[in-house]
Amino acid sequence: SSDLTQDPAVSVALGQTVRITCQGDTLRSYYTSWYQQKPGQAPVLVIYGKNNRPSGIPDRFSGSDSGNTASLTITGAQAEDEADYYCNSRDSSGNHVVFGGGTKLTVL
Amino acid sequence: QVRLVESGGGVVQPGRSLRLSCAASGFTFSSYAIHWVRQAPGKGLEWVADISYDGRNKYYIDSVKGRFTISRDNSKNTVYLQMNSLRPEDTSLYYCAKQLPGRGSYYDYWGQGTLVTVSS
């Protein structure tokens, strides 16, 4: 198995850019995906693979990877982006899935 | 449109069993792997198990191996999670999620979840 590490909380001023990171050795072998979860709602996929956005996700969301770190960047954060964000990936075996602990994003 | 609807949750005593169902519609169900992901109250997401499109391959997180069994009936567009020997730490909202094609752990659709509470 493998652990994915995220900062518990991040804040950003309205309209500014924020980067949320996810670290883990398995990220050297597998791409990650990112999920936004608002209170009382199911998670929503915002970025997957090599910076792919599902239909309906604003283009202010983007993803990048470097070594053992994956990043989700929100360029021009909006009030509605305030949420918990989770990364996930395959573990070293490739057969299990691991999630990061989540990052609570506050938009000031 | 794609829809996943979980059911079967409830309050159960430790050591007892529950069977969760995930009914799918709006896509070719038999072509996609399905995962169960849970979330304990106030906590993060935790992957539980997954099943391949044809039901041949199944994987589980270590903490449920030997207690939970995932299965699917492609004729009914439904995935099941049989949970035996339930423990208080299994208390969570259980989501089913549809995996995008390929080996990535990318879930493009989620259900709204069904709550399992294990308590005496």
pLDDT in tens, A15-27: 999 999 999 999 9
> Is the Cβ pair B105, A101 closer than 8 Å?
no
Q: What is the pLDDT of residue B103?
A: 77
Mutate to test the interface with B, among A6, A32, A97 (most CBs of B within 10 A): A97
Please indicate if any CB of chain B lies within 8 Å of the CB of A9.
no
pLDDT in tens, B57-105: 999 999 999 999 999 999 999 999 999 999 999 999 999 999 998 878 8
> Is the Cβ pair A33, B45 closer than 8 Å?
no
Chain B residues within 8 A of A37 when measuring between CB atoms = 45
pLDDT in tens, A25-80: 999 999 999 999 999 999 999 999 989 999 999 999 999 999 999 999 999 999 99
**pLDDT above 70: percentage of residues in chain B:** 100
Residue B120 in contact with residue B13, Cβ under 8 Å? yes
Q: What is the pLDDT of residue A50?
A: 87
Shortest CA distance to B22 belongs to which of B71, B63, B86? B71
Composition of chain B by helix, strand, coil, percent to 5 = 10, 50, 40
